[in-house]
Structure formats: structure tokens, C-alpha cells
Amino acid sequence: MIDFVVRNALIVDGTGGKPAQGDLAIDGGRIVGVGPHLVVNARRTLDASGLALMPGIIDSHTHFDAQITWDPTLSPSPALGVTTAVIGNCGFTIAPCRPADREITMRNLTQVEGMSIEALRQGIAWGFETFPEYMAQLRAAGSVANVAAYVGHSSVRTWVMGGDAARRAATADEIAQMQAIVREAMSAGAVGFASSTSPAHNGEGGLPMPSRLASDEEMAALVGAMGEGGRGVYMLTKGGHTPIPFLESLAAATGRPVMVAALLHNSVNPTAVFADLDAIAAANARGRRMLGQVSCCPLSMDFTLASPYPVEGLASWKPALGLAGAALEAVLADKAFRDGVRAELATPTTFRLFNSEWHKVQVVETAEPAQQRFEQRSIAEIATESGRDPLDTMLDIALADGLKTVFTAMLLNSDEEAVGRMLNDPHSIVSLSDAGAHLTFFNDAGFGLHLLGHWSRDRGAMSLAEAVRRLTSHPASVFGFEKRGLIEEGFAADLLLFDPKTVGRGPKRRVHDLPGGAARLTTDAVGVHGVWVNGRQVADANGLLAEAPLAGELLTRFAD
């Protein structure tokens, strides 16, 4: 008698091969049979007629490092089909961390990853100092999904250099101490070493995140320490000044895979990301293992007119900067101010987040009931309908709402033809959900469902089989997750049951459920019928089970 059998599913097995109708038998957390008309005696049978069954989604770019210590459900990812999450991306981790550095570590996370400081202060369970102790805590506490953790450069640097970590280069002795910590973390089961050289990554008080102060020698020494045991992935969110050839030299020296983030398409500099992907392809042709992390979601940012990040860089916006309440409302209502903004927007320039793409600005949430009719509609659409100017349209909606209207603007990765090419690049990995971070700006934890629904079904950018491969066996092979990522006998029963006709991610919603009541954006699954982690069901058609079991495993052993 086995645990359960799923009958009559369209099995999309993760290999990229043609999906086939069949049954799946699960016992003891593993797949024990797959094929048409399985003859098995099971305690439970699930009829999956009309539905598709695939391996669970592997999310290779998350920031659950802090959240996992108070929320082992890793909300909202498992309900969105994610059965394995890789944490510690960009090197923004919380271990190792001495008690004296906890406050600065939390303040940095608040700044760089948009996490509420109150949520972090109330939420993080600091039962550890070293990386091995952090792993022991995660193992003891358990989690709904499987987790693999990077050791993070900024934490390693802060441990060794204290307050100087964000201020200066390291000495040879300090680099040696950092190497020892990286080695210790790899022995404790880290999946690799993660870092950032991105100028966008600033911590408390606008100081650069510590890893940005690293010299090339320091970076090479730490990646070398990671790779000594013949294991580990080096992950870097790179700034424009970090050339691919330098990263290729690290791949060559260590023989380890190098994963480069964040490759997003910018409509005003449309060739840059393809130059990076070409350089990565050339490195692969020379025998290096290099990948570029790409996203299947437009990078959108939520904002209100009280703090409109996408337009605050405009010179004509200056009169409004620093104002609040009635004074700000007066400026936003002023015709001369509006004419100035209109004139500046009329001239396109290269380095500007927002370029009058009004069809890419949407009303998310309104405060006044009379305004609800604008929700989920674009400014371009509303303006055309009323025959009014789009800037006036947006500002008037906000003013009628006491500036409480939440808008969203798609800033990067919105050129779908270009993004489709990036998703199909042989050396890209579909990633960058940033789940667990930037909770007030965006939430792409449902990226996998979006790839299946939007990109595969609706746009036909890739077959369903290829979309599933990209979300499952591809990342599993890069990270060396053994016996995961395929529907095959002997593999872990990490599974996602969904309706291919409807699968997708739902609209964003704002909820106030972080520790201390802080707000975050979340999103619900569409067309998901069940999610299993190691053979145990954690979500159904209504989302995460109320008593979702802590079925996940802390992954610490990886194949090459």
C-alpha cells in the first residue's frame, strides 16, 4: 500500500520532452511510479483529469533569510507553486552576525531590500551568531518549502570588519579571515557564495552595502575559498563597472558556476542586456559555466504621489520634493508645475526611469469609493476615455484621493519581444522574483505561474514543456539539487498540479500581516490545484493549507 496516486494527469516531467497523459505514484516522499494506467494500491487517489502535473518550481532568487525565522511558511511562495527557495541572494544575509551588528544588519536590509525595520526588529529570531548556527536553527525550525542558503558577502565582511565593512578595502589578514568563514559556511552546507557590486545597493544612511567595497582580489579570494571543495555556485548582482570578463576569470580559476544578476531589459538602453548575455555565451563557448539571471516579470514599482519614486528624478519635479500634505497638493494642482513636467517628459533622454509610457502606469488601489472605477486600469486608457491629458489624469486621481492612490509603473523589462528573447537565451536562468524583499514595491513570487500562463500559453514564447523545464530541472541541475526537478521514479515528490487553461498569477494585494502589522504586497495563485513538498500537500486550490506541514528540507548536499 503506497501513500497516494494521482490519476489521469497531463504529466509535464521537467525534461522539456512532450507531455503525456498518465498516473503518478508517491510513497515516503518520493515518486515511486509514473506512467499510463499504473496498477498500484494507494491509501488515497486523486483524479487529475483536465489538469497538468509538473515538478515544483525552484525559485533561485529569494530573500527569505530574515522572514524564514518568523514565518516558516515562506509566504506567499509555496501557494504559488514554489517547492524550493534559494535564500541569501546578493549576499544580503543575516548570518554570520554578532549581537553588536544586529541593528546595522537590520537597518541595511530595510534600506537595500525594502523590509520594514519594525517587522525585522519584532520578527527575526536571533538564535545564532555563526553561519553553521543559523543553518542549525533553520533545520530545527523547519519550513514549508525546501531551502538552500548562500553565505552572503556583506555579512561575512561585517563579521570581520565591523563598522569599517561599509567604508574601506580589507587588509590581507581580513581577507584571510573572511575566507575562513566562507570555508566554514561551505562545510555547513551553504549552496554557494553571494555578493553584490551594484551601485543600486545601498544600506543604512546611503552607505554602500559592504560587499561593494571589496577589491577584485578580495572577491577572487572568497570565490576561491568557496570553490576549494569542488562545490558551490558564485552569485553576483553586478554593477555596470564589473565586467563579464572579470567574472569569467573567476569561473575559469575555480571551475565553479557563476550566476550573474540582474539582467533586466531597459527600453531606453535596449542593447546593454544582450551585450552581457553575448559575453556570457562567449564564456560558455570557452568552457566556463556562466549564467545570467533574467526575469519574466516587468519590473514595476508601486508608488503614491506622496513619494513618487519614478518621477522624482525629473528636474521639473523639484518644486514638489520635500513637501507633504496641503503644500504638496497645491503644487501638484498648479498648472505651471504641470506644464513644466509635461515639457520635460516631451523630450526623451537616456537615463530616466519614466519616459511618458502612460500605458505602463496603472491605478492599483484607490482610497475614495467613487474612485474605485479606476482600479486596475492604465492612465493612458483612462485619459483617452475622458479625452484629457495623461499627466492631469494621474494627478487629479491622486488629488481626489488625498494622495492615497497607489499607482504602479512598469519601469524595466516591459518590452515583451526583448524579454521573450532573454527568457529563451540558452545561458539565462529564469529567476529574480526577489521573494521576501521589496515588499512594499513589488512582489514577483508568482513568477513561475506567470511564465506558464502569460509567456507559454498566452504569448507562445515557449512550449509548456520548455517553460516547466526552465522552472524545474534547469535550476536543479545548476545548483546540483539531487533527485529534484523532474517527475521521475526515485525523485522527491515536489509537485505542482495546475490547470494549464487558467494558470497565472493574480493581481497584487496589499496586506498588513508582517510582525508589527507592517504592510506588504502579496499575490494569489490562479489555476493552482495543489502543491506537494516531499510528498506532503502544502497548498490546494484555496492557497496554503491552514495547517501546512513543515515538509521542506534544508538542502546542504549538492551534486557537482
Q: Give the footprint of Zn ion on this chain (CB under 5 A).
A: 89-90, 434
Nearer to Zn ion, 233 or 345 (CB): 233
Select 12 or 86, whichever has its Cβ closest to Zn ion.
86
Could you tell me how many residues make up the chain?
560
Q: By C-beta, is 89 or 143 nearer to Zn ion? A: 89
Beta bridge partners of 521: 510
Residue ranges of E strands in 448-548: 495-498, 504-511, 520-526, 528-533, 536-540, 543-544
Q: Where are the alpha helices (DSSP H) in 70-130?
A: 102-113, 117-123
**433/472 with CB nearer Zn ion:** 433
Burial of 235 (0-12, 13-18, 19+ CB in 10 A): buried
Angle made by CA atoms 182, 152, 257, in degrees to the nearest 5: 75
For the bound state, the minimum distance from the C-beta of residue 433 to Zn ion, rounded and expressed in Å, comes to 9
Q: Are 404 and 304 in contact (CB under 8 A)?
A: yes
Residue 236 CA to residue 114 CA, distance in Å, equals: 19
Task: With CA atoms as reference, report the closest residue to 222 among 262, 188, 261, 186.
Answer: 186
For the CA atoms of the chain, what is the radius of gyration? 24
Shortest Å distance, C-beta 437 to Zn ion? 6
Looking at the Cβ atoms of 23 and 434, the one nearer to Zn ion is: 434
State the nearest-atom distance from the C-beta of 312 to Zn ion, in Å. Answer: 23
Q: How far is the CB of 254 from Zn ion (least distance, A)?
A: 22
Q: How far apart are the first and last CA of the chain?
A: 35
Nearer to Zn ion, 90 or 379 (CB): 90
Burial status of residue 224 (CB atoms within 10 A of its CB: 0-12, 13-18, 19 or more): middle
Does residue 26 sit in helix, strand or coil?
Answer: strand
Least CB distance to Zn ion at residue 87 (A):
10
Closer residue to Zn ion (CB): 90 or 311: 90
Closer residue to Zn ion, CB minimum distance, 61 or 529:
61
Where do the DSSP E strands lie in 266-347? 290-294, 299-303
Count CA atoms closer than 13 A to 463's CA, side-chain side.
10
Q: CB of 114: closest distance to Zn ion in angstroms? A: 11
Sign of the dihedral defined by the CA atoms of residues 360, 361, 366, 369, in that order: negative
Shortest separation between residue 86's beta carbon and Zn ion, angstroms: 11
* Nearer of residues 437 and 518 to Zn ion, judged by Cβ: 437
Query: Which cell is 193 given?
Result: 557564495
Q: For cell 520634493, what's the residue?
A: 321
For residue 385, the minimal CB distance to Zn ion (Å) is 38
CB of 7 or CB of 61, closer to Zn ion: 61
Amino acid identity of residue 23, one-letter, is D
Minimum separation from the CB atom of position 412 to Zn ion (A): 14
Which residue lies nearer to Zn ion by CB, 92 or 532? Answer: 92
Q: How far is the CB of 163 from Zn ion (least distance, A)?
A: 24
> Which residue's C-alpha cell is 552581457?
276
Q: For residue 58, list its beta bridge partners.
A: 84
Q: How far is the CB of 90 from Zn ion (least distance, A)?
A: 4
The residue type of 306 is A
Cβ 61 to Zn ion, closest distance in Å? Answer: 6
Select 90 or 411, whichever has its Cβ closest to Zn ion.
Answer: 90
- Which residues are within 8 A (CB) of 492 and not within 5 positions of it... i.e. 6 or more apart? 29, 30, 31, 483, 484, 534, 535
Q: Which residues contact 12 (CB under 8 A, 6 or more apart)?
A: 19, 52, 53, 54, 464, 465, 468, 487
Residue 109: CB minimum distance to Zn ion, A: 11
Q: Which is nearer to Zn ion, 109 or 314 (CB)?
A: 109
Question: Does residue 491 sit in helix, strand or coil?
Answer: coil
Amino acid code (one letter) for 127: G
- The bridge status of strand 361-365 relative to strand 406-412 is antiparallel
Burial of 118 (0-12, 13-18, 19+ CB in 10 A): middle
